Amino acid sequence: MRRDWSETITVAADVALVGLFVTVASVPLVTLGAAVRTGSSAVGVIARGEKVSLPAMWRLFRASLVRGLLASLAASALVLLLVYNVGAVAGGRVPGGSPALAGTGVAVVVLLAIGMLTLVRLGRGTSPSSWREALRWAARTAWRQPGAAAAVAGVSAVAAALALFVPLTAPLLVGYALYAAHAVTTRLVKSPSPA
């Protein structure tokens, strides 16, 4: 389906607003998981060409608070562990040098792909209790379709790099990263059955 320029601008503006919402809703940190899941769901609705229902998104956000907090804590612990590992290897405190650093880099890419695929799967579902199922699906998808997983990680890494170089755009890029992950998953992942 081909969109005209006004539809493209509307979608771009809606996705940017989702990015702003996710950023603002994540400020307390305990709401990070719920905000990202709700943002992914909103982007999924936008990608299908439908209107986002604010009351439905609010219900999803509230229903996702507890499980989102647990997911945020687990993801934060994993990120801290990876950052510590990279620092230890790069600083020479751990043997292994370049091969260990390359292995850690591969692990980061795989985990980024799994994380973004999990968000895409959550964004396609409606059940607030499907975090574990979404993670399982994402891990299976990354294992069985490494090219698609690499593409999802790639678009996410590009958005992160842009946010790093132009920090003012970071809130907008959150929405665009979610949209890109949805688009790549739709195109490349075989049988991305909804949650």
Q: Could you tell me which of 15, 23, 40 has the C-alpha nearest to residue 120?
A: 40
DSSP 41-87: HHHHHHHTT----HHHHHHHHHHTHHHHHHHHHHHHHHHHHHHHHHH
Whether residue 193 has pLDDT greater than 70: no
What is the per-residue pLDDT for 190?
81
Which letter, b or e, does each residue of 22-58 get, where b requires 16 or more Cβ atoms within 10 Å of its Cβ? bbebbeeeebbbbbbbbbbbbbbbbbeeeeeeeeebe
Instruction: State the Cα–Cα distance between residues 178 and 180, nearest whole angstrom.
Output: 5
**Which DSSP symbol is given to 91?**
T
Res 111: pLDDT: 92
Q: What is the pLDDT of residues 13-70, one digit of tens each?
A: 999 999 999 999 998 889 999 999 999 999 999 988 889 999 999 999 999 999 999 9
Residue 195: predicted pLDDT: 44
* Domain ranges within the chain, ordered by starting residue: 5-188
pLDDT, one tens digit per residue, over 75-98 is: 889 888 888 888 888 787 777 777
Torsion (CA) 128, 133, 136, 140 in degrees, nearest 10: -110
> Cα separation of 32 and 42, whole Å?
15
As to burial, measured by CB atoms within 10 angstroms (0-12 exposed, 13-18 middle, 19+ buried), residue 137 is buried
> Would you state the structure tokens that stand for residue 176, as one six-digit string?
């665009």
Predicted pLDDT at 126 = 55
pLDDT tens, residue by residue, 115-157: 999 999 999 875 555 888 999 999 999 999 999 999 999 999 9
pTM score: 0.87
Over range 171-176, report the average pLDDT.
94
**pLDDT at 127 (0 to 100):** 58
Closest CA to 192 of 120, 129, 119: 120
- Is residue 85 within 8 Å of 104, Cβ to Cβ? yes
pLDDT over 80 at 161, yes or no: yes
